[in-house]
Each structure stands twice: as C-alpha cells, then as structure tokens.
Amino acid sequence: MWNKVYAWLDERLGFNGLYKGLLDRPEPEGNWWNTLGSASLFLFVMQGLTGIFLTVYYTPSPDHAYDSIRYIMNDVAFGWMIRGIHHWGASLMVLVVFIHMVRVFVTASFKYPRELTWLVGVGLLLLTVGMGFTGYLLPWHQQAYWATTVGTRIAGSVPFIGDFILKVLRGGPDLSALTLQRFFSAHIWILPGLLAALIGAHLFLIIKHGESHFPDEED
C-alpha cells in the first residue's frame, strides 16, 4: 500500500529525480575536517529550533525583555536548558564556522572552481557574526545595553556614512525601544532568512562541484 502511495506521489512530484540529483552521489573521501561544514549546518538548525521556543516567552520591549528572560530561566519548564543551548550554541556556531573557514583556507579549497562557494561562505560568516551581535542585545541588561552602545558606535565611526549607519542600527541617535525592536526583527527574521538562502546556495555549489581533495605531495 505504501509503495503505491509512494509511486503515486513520485509520478506527480518526481521524488526519484530529486533523490538522484541530491543524494545519490559517491561517498566523499573526506576526514574529520570535512565534518565542520555539516556541524555549522547542525548548529544553525539547532539555534533556529531553540530560538523559536524562546520567542514563545520573550518580549522585545525595554520594560519586559529582561523580566521575560528571567521568567524563561526560572519558571518555564526546561526554559533554562533551551536558553542555555541557544546561548552557548551561538558562541559555538561562530567558532565552528570560523574553524571551517580556516580548514577551507588551509587546504586551498577556495580555488577554481570553488571561488563562489568561498564568497558565499564570506557572506555566511558575516551573517553568523551579525546574528551574535543582534542577539546579544535582546536580554536588555546592562552588559547588553553597553556592549551594543559601543558596538554601534564603532560601526558609526565609518568615514562619511558612519552617522547614517549608526542611526539605521539604533533607529535614532541613541539606544531605545526602537533599537531593541529592530535588533529583534533582524535576529529572528532578516538575518536567519538571508542565512537560510545563502546556506541553500552554498549547499547547491558543494553538491555541484563535489568535495575538493586534500592537497597531497604532488600538489
């Protein structure tokens, strides 16, 4: 019966073609260093899932942000665990993505025909750091407030357009409810959306070109 359902769906959706194109490939001859890209992907998915749980209780307003985090930590069942995973997962993701990039650099895997994979990767690194930067403000405690004050001021020191960047980031000349609202929006919609799109492009290129071989004595 399931075979019939599968055949019926396959005829209309073309599962087999999708399977052949995406998964039916020779097993890559990698080593542990080749697992870091997949580890980055795993962390992205985990941050997404734990983040969705956190938005159930988190409130992005100066009056309630800190209290909502305290509520998650102290009163919500397993809230401390979900927030802990999200908190430490964020640092781990930056670290793992960075080591993945260093591995790609050391094995010269950015060379022809993988230059685009590398360029998309640069976008992924910037977006990952952007996720950390926007997420850091959300608890709205003193440390978050002042770290973001300094971070946005650094961005504002860019010649000529610095003032404009500062105002776009803060939603005005100072940190306010508007800043928290736009950091929240960037953190849960804009940046993850861009990350998902670029990860899609990254994976497409990786499947297209296959895994590079590690440089040996002949290289």
Binding site for ligand HEM (CB under 6 A): 34, 36-38, 40-41, 44, 97, 100-101, 104, 109-110, 114, 117-118, 121-122, 124-125, 128, 199, 202, 206, 211-212
The smaller minimum CB distance to ligand HEM, of residues 36 and 54, is found at 36
CB of 79 to ligand HEM, least distance (A): 26
Q: 3-class secondary structure for the chain?
A: CHHHHHHHHHHHHCHHHHHHHHCCCCCCCCCHHHHHHHHHHHHHHHHHHHHHHHHCCCCCCCCCHHHHHHHHHHCCCCHHHHHHHHHHHHHHHHHHHHHHHHHHHHCCCCCCCCHHHHHHHHHHHHHHHHHHHHHHHCCCCHHHHHHHHHHHHHHCCCCCCHHHHHHHHHCCCCCCHHHHHHHHHHHHHHHHHHHHHHHHHHHHHHHHHCCCCCCCCCC
CB of 213 to ligand HEM, least distance (A): 8
The smaller minimum CB distance to ligand HEM, of residues 182 and 202, is found at 202
The smaller minimum CB distance to ligand HEM, of residues 46 and 73, is found at 46
CB of 143 to ligand HEM, least distance (A): 26
The smaller minimum CB distance to ligand HEM, of residues 121 and 135, is found at 121
CB of 102 to ligand HEM, least distance (A): 9
